[in-house]
Chain A
């Protein structure tokens, strides 16, 4: 900032000396003498050398120098000014200073000029774009030169190019932002120079590896790599610098970091190159995945255990399926044999007991079958396919009509209940719900069973509704527990496994099931199927 001002002062001294040899009168007639005029005047007086000297000096000055008339007309414009602003003196001299400055600094410039003329000196800063689009920040120092009467003769303007400063500030701001980002990143970050040394690390990295950053900066990156991987790492690293691109490091490999204390931990690293003026930098984001690895191992263990358990369960139900029914067949069969072959030796009560034995064994067989079915549902792989619940419901209804053609039931099955799920399991679920409705409307002279869907809380809820006997909601919690029944066996047969099965199927689809009922007022079962909404 001092430079240009000095320059102006120096020149002023010269011009003053030179002007002292001038005709003062003519200067008075010409109230705005200036360097540009000086050329003419000196040519007239023949003092060519002095004029050239001033010109040469001012043009040689590295600082842009401008002289204005007190009214603001550009009278002199040196070579540096031309270079800085991109317009030469031949273009600028004679133009109004205020009309050539950018419009948004015009007021400021006008103020500075007025201040310089009235108070002797002023400065102002302005940033603008050159014609080529490059950004420019300048500081202008204005100094008023007066004649011995104190009359303003011209205003010398020294311009300092602050663009470098601006750039530096921008770089600093960028760096500060970058550093802020680096520190705010959830991952440990490291920036590597082209010479493979560590340029920058963040707090997270210091913590993760247990090194204070001053021990890392400038070190080769391999200091963070376990010994046994170092050699390979150097090769990979050099290859990366050869063809840099953003990518995870060591795809498919288990990567490890090495702490200052020598401890190792599994990491995940992603790399990205940054082309900078000083060469390429590589940023590595490093994430400690110890927890994830542990969780994965745990999950694998659980999965293995579940698989094993499933296998055992499968073997168990296989054996149940084969072995548990055989004794029941014997109980039922030989009771029948007794009834047939020994009827004369039995009284009515004896025959009744045998009948009950047979009923009990058949019921037991049904229980076993239902339990096996439930266990199959738990084990079955869940398929995903488009399913039309309307079609499924109509098929079940047709079955039920056939089972008891005498029943009068008005079915109302909504069309287009399209969903996604396991067709076989959903068939079982729907069949259970409809059989329930069918069973519990048995005593209704005009039974109605409806299947449909409604929107609730932004999701689709399917329902199966009947006008049957209903149940007391106080016992609703027992509905989905195995072997729990809300009606006596004599009134409505059942094993108490059907709804458990339905619930299991709904849960396996990620859905929910609940019931609404009142004694004598029918029951509605609602369920969702975890559909994406």
Chain B
């Protein structure tokens, strides 16, 4: 049902959440490849072809699912860098986090997040959230073509 050639960049450091999120996508019939970054640095390296990804021409993901609490470079910083770079400024970024602290919400939207979703504890609800996220960001949502890098 989705354009499976497009990848999802999942920025998540908790292996439990990682497994459950991937499982939720599969359960929701989202077959896109999931690229995992375990902290902010890995995410930025993947997106901008730096560090471990130096020299590679990674295609930009269809959507970035971004946790906020991350080792080394946190989610807010990643979001800021994505929005301030002409190559990625239109990239859909969905914050997917435990917190619904007001400061997180406000800061995320200030930095230009596309959407903010709180991970529910109830896995059934989480499945539902994953399904809707996939449907919306991988199928319904349209983004302008990427500017040449």
Chain A contact residues, CB within 8 Å of chain B: 317-318, 321-323, 325-330, 332-337, 358, 361-362, 364-365, 376
Contacts and interface: CB of A to CB of B under 8 A. Distances in A.
Contacts of A333: 16, 20, 23, 123, 126
- What are the nearest 5 A-B pairs in CB distance? A330-B16, A365-B121, A333-B20, A333-B123, A336-B123
Contact of B98 (A323, A334, A361, A364): A323
A257 to B, nearest CB: 49
A337 B121 CA distance: 14
Interface residues of B, number: 21
Contacts of A365: 121-122
Contacts of A337: 20, 23, 123
A326 B98 contact: yes
Interface in B58-115: 68-69, 97-103
Nearest to A365: B121
B14 interface: yes
Contacts of A364: 121
B99 A329 contact: no
Nearest to A366: B121
A332 B121 contact: yes
Contacts of A334: 16, 20
Nearest to B21: A333
B124 interface: yes
Contacts, number: 63
Interface in B7-30: 14, 16-17, 20, 23
Contact of B17 (A318, A330, A376): A330
Interface in B115-149: 119-124, 126
Contacts of A323: 69, 98
Q: Taking each of B20, B97, B98, B121, which has the highest tally of chain A beta carbons within 10 Å of its own beta carbon? A: B121
Contact of A329 (B68, B69, B100, B119): B119
B32 to A, nearest CB: 21
A329 B97 contact: no
A317 B100 CA distance: 11
B98 A330 contact: no
B126 A322 contact: no
Contacts of B103: 318
B101 A321 contact: yes
5 contacts: A322-B99, A325-B98, A333-B16, A358-B122, A365-B121
A263 B60 CA distance: 76
Contacts of A326: 14, 16-17, 98
Nearest to B98: A325
B69 to A, nearest CB: 5
A259 B11 CA distance: 71
Contacts of A321: 98-101
Contacts of A332: 121-123
B28 to A, nearest CB: 14
Given A336-B123, A361-B121, A330 B20 contact: yes
B76 to A, nearest CB: 13
Nearest to A318: B101
A362 B101 contact: no
B17 A329 contact: yes
A268 B44 CA distance: 62
B68 A322 contact: yes
A263 B59 CA distance: 79
Contacts of A362: 121-122
A427 to B, nearest CB: 15
Given A317-B101, A325-B119, A329-B119, 10 more contacts: A318-B99, A321-B100, A326-B14, A326-B16, A328-B121, A330-B14, A332-B122, A333-B16, A333-B123, A333-B126
A430 to B, nearest CB: 20
Contacts of B98: 321-323, 325-326, 329
A288 B97 CA distance: 58
Contacts of B100: 321
A57 B119 CA distance: 121
A322 B121 contact: no
Contacts of B124: 336
Given A323-B69, A362-B122, A329 B20 contact: yes
Contacts of A317: 101
Nearest to B16: A330
Contacts of B121: 325, 328-329, 332, 361-362, 364-365
A183 to B, nearest CB: 60
Contacts of B68: 322
B98 to A, nearest CB: 4
A317 B102 CA distance: 12
Contacts of A358: 122-123
A336 B120 CA distance: 14
A37 B103 CA distance: 112
A337 B123 CA distance: 9
Nearest to B122: A362
Contacts of A329: 16-17, 20, 98, 119-121, 123, 126
A317 B98 CA distance: 12
B16 to A, nearest CB: 4
A334 B14 CA distance: 14
Q: Taking each of B69, B98, B119, B124, which has the highest tally of chain A beta carbons within 10 Å of its own beta carbon? A: B98
Nearest to A339: B123
A318 B76 CA distance: 15
Contacts of A361: 121
Nearest to A364: B121
A336 B24 CA distance: 11
A327 B103 CA distance: 23
B97 A322 contact: yes
A327 B17 CA distance: 9
